[in-house]
């Protein structure tokens, strides 16, 4: 896998063609605005075909399953299917339970690999690149373990160790970003200077900002880790250098927002938000098909 600066991290993208439909079986969901039906964990979705393909994949939203379009496994599905087990839960029903449990562990590890890979691509994080690479290699090695080892793994402890390193990446990147409290420039941009140096950058870590009116807000270098931004108006906001790890962006309005250099943003977060063709995203992320065009 390519973890060099600018690497596209292809191995950490879901490839449903090489998966045994694990997310369509292992995960539960309840009838709601996100899902048309209720399904228990371990029970195949009725839309899952014999070939492990979704029968309504091209029309999930229209069919009442927008929740499926938001989910992403970071490539854990194909790793568990083709590497960890090799034979499907249909071929070996006795292994189904273990396979689904391993899938949950693998997804967590692959998400950590995504963040570590991003850190390795950032020049601002160069002081910790050696530690990032070691953490990446250690985590990747864990993903190649057998089912028993993966299920015995203390995922929380490994997460905490990696998260400490990611926090250092965040501090380095946000310190280099422009915006309030910074005299420096954002990656590829110019800083404000003057009064900007006298103010601290926004720290909204874990904050409840549901429905907040942040239209055109200058959030460069802001700490939005774990913030609840459900339904927030971030249209036209500048989020370059902002740490968005774990931020809940469901139904957040990102139309015209600049997230091109946001830190630790993921495809599931983007998929859950609302945006348009003026929304700027990091190169590693794709524009969701359900996003709108700008109104002329």
Q: Where are the domains of the chain?
A: 9-173, 201-285
Q: Is 201-285 assigned to CATH 2.40.30.20? A: no
- Per-residue confidence of the chain (296 residues) as pLDDT tens digits? 444 433 457 789 899 999 999 999 999 999 999 999 999 999 999 999 999 999 999 999 999 999 999 999 999 999 999 999 999 999 999 999 999 999 999 999 999 999 999 999 999 999 999 999 999 999 999 999 999 999 999 999 999 999 999 999 999 999 998 766 444 444 544 433 333 433 467 899 999 999 999 999 999 999 999 999 999 999 999 999 999 999 999 999 999 999 999 999 999 999 999 999 999 999 999 999 889 876 54
Question: How far apart (Å, rounded) are the C-alpha atoms in residues 203 and 175?
Answer: 13
Of 68, 74, 166, the residue nearest 111 (C-alpha): 74
What angle in degrees, to the nearest 10, is found between the helix axes of 129-143 and 155-176?
150
The pTM of the full predicted model, rounded to 2 decimals, is 0.89
Q: What distance in Å separates the CA atoms of residue 33 and residue 18, rounded to the nearest whole number?
A: 29
Structure tokens given for 227:
């913030």
Asked if 18 and 10 count as a contact pair (C-beta separation under 8 A), the reply is no
């Amino acid at each position: 896998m390519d973890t060099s600066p600018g690497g596209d991290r292809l191995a950490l993208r879901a490839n449903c063609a090489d998966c045994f439909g694990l997310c369509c079986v292992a995960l539960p969901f309840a009838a709601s605005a996100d899902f048309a039906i209720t399904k228990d964990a371990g029970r195949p979705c009725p839309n899952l075909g014999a070939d492990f393909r979704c029968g309504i994949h091209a029309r999930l939203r229209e069919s009442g399953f927008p929740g499926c379009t938001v989910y992403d496994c970071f490539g854990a599905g194909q790793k568990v299917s083709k590497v960890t087990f090799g034979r499907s839960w249909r071929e070996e029903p006795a292994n189904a339970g273990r396979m689904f449990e391993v899938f949950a562990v693998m997804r967590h590890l692959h998400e950590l690999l995504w963040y570590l890979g991003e850190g390795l691509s950032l020049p601002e994080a160069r002081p910790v690149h050696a530690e990032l690479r070691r953490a990446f290699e250690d985590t990747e090695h864990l993903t190649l373990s057998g089912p028993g080892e993966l299920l015995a793994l203390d995922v929380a402890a490994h997460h905490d160790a990696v998260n400490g390193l990611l926090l250092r990446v965040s501090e380095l990147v946000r310190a280099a970003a422009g915006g309030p409290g910074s005299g420096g420039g954002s990656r590829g941009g110019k800083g404000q200077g003057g009064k900007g140096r006298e103010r601290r950058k926004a720290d909204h870590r874990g904050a409840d900002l549901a429905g907040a009116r942040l239209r055109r807000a200058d959030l460069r270098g802001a700490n939005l880790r774990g913030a609840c931004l459900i339904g927030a108006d971030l249209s036209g906001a500048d989020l370059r250098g902002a740490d968005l790890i774990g931020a809940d962006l469901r139904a957040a309005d990102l139309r015209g927002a600049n997230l091109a250099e946001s830190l630790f943003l993921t495809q599931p977060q983007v998929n859950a938000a609302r945006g348009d063709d003026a929304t700027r995203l990091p190169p590693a992320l794709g524009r969701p098909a359900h996003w709108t065009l700008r109104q002329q």
